[in-house]
Amino acid sequence: MQALRKIVDVSGTSLTVQLPADWHLTKAEVIVLPADNEGTQSESRESWETFVKRTTGSIPDFPDRFPQGEYESRRSFDD
The mean per-residue pLDDT over the stretch 1-15 comes to: 84
> For position 37, what pLDDT does the model report?
60
- Residue 1, pLDDT score: 72
pLDDT digits (tens, 9 = 90+) for 9-65: 888 898 888 888 888 888 889 888 888 765 555 667 778 888 888 888 888 787 888
* pTM recorded for the entire structure: 0.39
Q: Which residues contact 25 (CB under 8 A, 6 or more apart)?
A: 19
| Per-residue exposure over 63-74, b if at least 16 CB sit within 10 Å of its own CB, e if not | eeeeeeeeeeee
Q: Report the pLDDT value the prediction gives residue 14, as an integer from 0 to 100.
A: 87
